[in-house]
Amino acid sequence: MPHTRSRLSTEEMRRLALEAARSILIDEGPQAVTLMAVAKRISRTHANVLHHFGSAGELRRAMAEMMVGRVAAEIGAEVVRVRQIEGDLREIVDITFDAFEKQGMAALMSWMILSGEHEGLAPVLDAVHNLVEELGEYRGAPLRQITQILVLTALGEGMIGGQIAEALEVPRETARATLAHQLRIMRGW
């Protein structure tokens, strides 16, 4: 008896495909995120995935939007929590660095920049801007400057942090600790 696949709603199909794309990104890197690879991962046809996204570029853009939405919410919640308890900025550094390194944001953003898919960066840049606007200034801390340094450092660390730490014979967490120290100084606390 032939195996029949259940019919999915457009929303379910897109969610399933985006989760598969994110998984491929983390497991194999951004160059492996293709319509065909996603289709194979979710046991659908290439045409089916193409129908829901239109192109591999649009799939990656939608994936970036989904990922950055989650990351921004997570970081925003952590910033609010740290503000409430007057906690350590190291916690915000860690969550941001983990998003870029372990959740694939650095690989995705780097690949989009290097491959010329600048439109795909729009959701990321918009999310950063919107998060800063939503959080607002706090006790005169230069939030825009802190965010710029945090994002740029997390991007670099996510791309080549392990290799640089190894080459310099320093612990991998050195960049996180150093940045947290510098941000404490900038924050003025």
Mean residue pLDDT across the chain: 89
Residue with token string 């959740």 = 103
Say what the pTM is. 0.82
- Find the distance separating the first CA and the last CA of the chain, reported in whole Å: 68
Q: Work out the burial of residue 140: count CB atoms within 10 Å of its CB; fewer than 13 is exposed, 13-18 middle, 19 or more buried.
A: exposed
Residue with token string 């019919």 = 7
DSSP 6: P
pLDDT the model gives residue 2: 44
pLDDT in tens, 18-48: 999 999 999 998 889 999 999 999 999 999 9
Average pLDDT over residues 116-131: 88
CB-based burial, 30-57: b 16+ in 10 Å, e otherwise: beebbbebbbebbebeeebbbebbeebe
pLDDT in tens, 150-178: 999 999 999 999 999 999 999 999 999 99
